[in-house]
Structure 1
């Protein structure tokens, strides 16, 4: 995996960096492969289930659906990143493929982070201002917020397409070292705007939700425990997936600013750690569906209904196959299909 280079101006130092790519190669390939195998079906399931909820006018489902689509776009680029790492960090698919995959990767990080903030803010508003928020918490508002967010993040990283990364076969894709001074400043901004502020938002909103639910008499002890567990899990997963990566970016920017003439030695020393933390960012593609969807009571009911309908249909088909009466078979299969459709759409 790689870091997007936002400028191609020459560095003050002419030193050539030689990161130890081989040290993390096998671990990165294994991690990306596991994430792809698990994350792809998990996010497809998330997209389908949240789309059903969108049709039922669920506001939160808009953010969840957008999050799953963002994750699926990124997961679609993982095979190229796996081959790139396996090929010794030599890009052989041309400059446009490099730019597109890098652009998707970089956008995915911050679209995911900001959508997680939107989800937490939406839950916070629903709990803290349950009556006042009726005019605000609408699907149109959620769609508008999501579109604005994606456009802003996309425009921020659009300069990716004007640079010459991956122009020649065998070049690295967005891993040119040493970094440019503009990149160091950009890392500072990413740490503050893309990590620190979202972290504070998540802590505040989830703590407030937990506190309000605990003092409410309208929730059972089981529901209160679930909300408390979910609030803690959100913060922990966010810290595991994004904190190490952004701390390394901050450290790289600080070290470059202090001594950019000798930055290569530091970049080479920290590269393996950086690669490991980049894998943690990718793990977010697997964590999100399980946190926000599979813990949902409504979504679990949809899954159970779908499974029951599928089992009923399989049983009826087997029984019908053993029957010699073709008309009875067709009638039974139609009844099973109707039952499955009803169970999928009959959502309390």
Structure 2
């Protein structure tokens, strides 16, 4: 099989339930796909045609008869359910040790050093919803100039500030300071800038979010591709997640729609390598906000776009679609959920209608990407390409 370009799309948080260890994470019964399928806004004929609704364990009924891709589900081998761990595993790193989380806030010595080096007081320092923290602390932030520091069930150190009070350049610098402090035992997966605008009672987060990630602990498929002269294009927060390591070029996006349009532009380019795309709205705007209809509508919009993408594929292109974790908008709470994720693959030379069953790790994608380019690398995972070629 001769592959020139691979497009790997991560539908951020699009879980499909049934993770065997969900109970250990307090997520037993969560199922993002099933929750959004109850909405009148849910309509996914393109993904149905690729086999989404034929995946083992999926109870949502589909209408497609002639399946145009191969399909399966993947369980997460890493001890986590966050964006960083999920993407690293897709790239070929199984993280047996979970990244640190802070259900009671960050230690005093960490916060003292952060305040000393930034020159600003920090307020909150608790796990919080990103929208609720603005309701409770946004006014104080504007009045005092203090930085809102908060976390979640994930390994994150988030800093929120009003753009008119703390300029973006300063906020990003404050995040860099936090990233320098948070190492070793306190090496959180991501430090995230969360700028906002508006007035008390109507604060809104802007698209100027920026992630400062921990360096991956070992080589990923991205490093192997670059070492062999192939291009690695990141769309969305891919470059941030991998701390720019293994990324030859990156395109930032404002939202899902912008990401999909920019991916269509890249599809017109002549390159050899991987285009790795993250579409974050599913997670950020809908999963965390328990918005079932909004999530369903966003998936439907992606599915409509997917039909156009599929028609524009070249004979030597391969498309893979997956997710990095779940964030069931119909499940109690607003945190990520421990779920299996879908695996869809299609291309002119990819066999159609093959069930790939249940894969033991997301890292099988990384191994398969290398296999398609006939490369070898010291990464985790087992290629599924022999099953579909």
Please give the TM-score of this superposition, normalised by the length of structure 1.
0.26
Q: Which has the higher helix share?
A: 1
Higher relative CO (Cα under 8 Å, sequence separation at least 6) belongs to 2
**Greater strand proportion:** 2
Q: Which has the larger radius of gyration?
A: 1
